[in-house]
C-alpha cells in the first residue's frame, strides 16, 4: 500500500506563488520503488471534473503540462527523498481547486488520470 501526502496548499492573492509538496511512503515492506513511478498533479475545481495539471516521468527527465499552466507551473521530483513538487507562479483565480498528487508506472495511465496511487488532496485558493 503506497501513501501519498500533499502539503503546501493555502490562500494566495492573484499573481502570487505557492509550492506544493507530495511525500510518498509505504505502510508495509514491499518492492515499491519511487524511482519506478511516473508522478503527476491533478486538480478539481468546484462543480468541475478532475483534470491533469502536470506530470514528470520516473527519471525526472521529461515533464508535461496542461496548456493553461504551461510557463507558470513547474513540476520536479527528488527520488532520493521520495518527493514530488509543484511550483505554481503567477496564480490566477481560475487555479483555485483541490490539488491531488498521483502516481503510476504507466505514463499513459498517469496522464489519463487512471492512476495506481492518489493523495488526499490539498486546497489552493487564489483570491484577493
Is residue 61 over pLDDT 60? Answer: yes
CB-CB contact of 35 with 58 (8 Å): yes
Is residue 32 over pLDDT 90? Answer: no
Residues 82-125 pLDDT 10s = 999 999 999 999 999 999 999 998 999 999 998 888 999 999 99
pLDDT average, residue stretch 50-79? 96
Query: What pLDDT is recorded for position 34?
Result: 85
Q: How confident is the model at residue 1 (pLDDT cuts 50, 70, 90)?
A: confident
Amino acid at each position: 500500500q503506497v501513501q501519498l501526502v500533499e502539503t503546501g496548499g493555502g490562500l494566495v492573492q492573484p499573481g502570487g506563488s505557492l509550492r506544493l509538496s507530495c511525500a510518498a511512503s509505504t505502510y508495509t515492506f514491499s518492492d515499491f520503488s519511487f524511482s519506478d513511478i511516473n508522478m503527476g498533479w491533478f486538480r478539481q475545481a468546484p462543480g468541475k471534473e478532475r483534470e491533469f495539471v502536470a506530470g514528470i516521468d520516473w527519471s525526472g527527465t521529461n515533464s508535461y503540462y496542461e496548456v493553461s499552466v504551461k510557463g507558470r507551473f513547474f513540476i520536479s521530483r527528488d527520488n532520493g527523498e521520495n518527493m514530488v513538487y509543484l511550483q505554481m507562479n503567477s496564480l490566477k483565480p481560475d487555479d483555485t481547486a483541490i490539488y491531488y498528487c498521483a502516481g503510476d508506472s504507466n505514463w499513459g495511465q498517469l496522464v489519463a488520470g487512471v492512476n495506481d496511487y492518489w493523495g488526499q488532496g490539498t486546497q489552493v485558493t487564489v483570491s484577493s
